[in-house]
Amino acid sequence: MLQQIKSKKAVSEIVSYSILIVIAVGISILVFAFLKVYIPKFQTPECPAEVHIIADNINCDFTSKKLTFTVKNRGLFSVDSVFTRLHPPGKEIKSLIPENGYKILPELLAPGNSTDLEYDFTTAGEIAGEGYTLEIQPAIFNEERKLAVCENAVATQKIACLE
C-alpha cells in the first residue's frame, strides 16, 4: 500500500511540473504576441555608405531666380533623387529647393555619370552676392520603393548668386 502511494505522488509531481511548463510557454507566447503589436512593422530606409555626389558648373542668377548646376555621381551606387538647399548669407535656415524638398532625377544617375539640374528659387534670400551655401543630398529608392535619404553624403559648397 505504501508503494502505491509513493508512485502516485511521483506521477502527480511530473504532471504538476508539466503543467507549469505549459503555463510558462503559454504566457511567453501571449507576451510575444502583445509586444509584436508595439514594434513598428516598417524600418527606416537606409542609404549605403558608398553614395557620393558633387556639384559642378554652378550658376546662380539672382535676377531670374534660377540655380543651375551639374550633379556628378562619384560613388558606387546609383542615385534616384536629390535634395537641394540654398543657404543665404547671414541666415541660419537653409531653404529647400524646390519647396516640396526633393527632385527625382530624370533618369537614374549611375556611378560616374552626371546630369544637369535647374531650379527656380524664391525663398533663398533678399540680396545678391557671395556667401551663399549650396547643399545637395542624394537619396535612393530601396526595394519597397521608399526614399532613403543619404545622411552622410551631403555635398556643401560656397557659391555666389550674382545679378
Query: CA-to-CA distance for 96 and 18, rounded, in angstroms?
Result: 64
CB 66 within 8 A of CB 84: no
CA distance 139 to 150: 5
Helices (H), the chain: 2-38
Name the one residue in this structure whose C-alpha cell is 509531481.
13
pLDDT tens figures, 16-60 = 899 999 999 999 999 998 888 877 666 666 788 888 899 999 888
> How high is the mean pLDDT of the chain?
81
Averaged pLDDT, 60-70: 85
Which residue ranges make up each domain of the chain? 1-39, 53-162
The span from the CA of 79 to the CA of 82, in Å, is 8
The pLDDT of residue 44: 64
Mean pLDDT for the stretch of residues 124-140: 78
Fold of 53-162: Immunoglobulin-like (2.60.40)
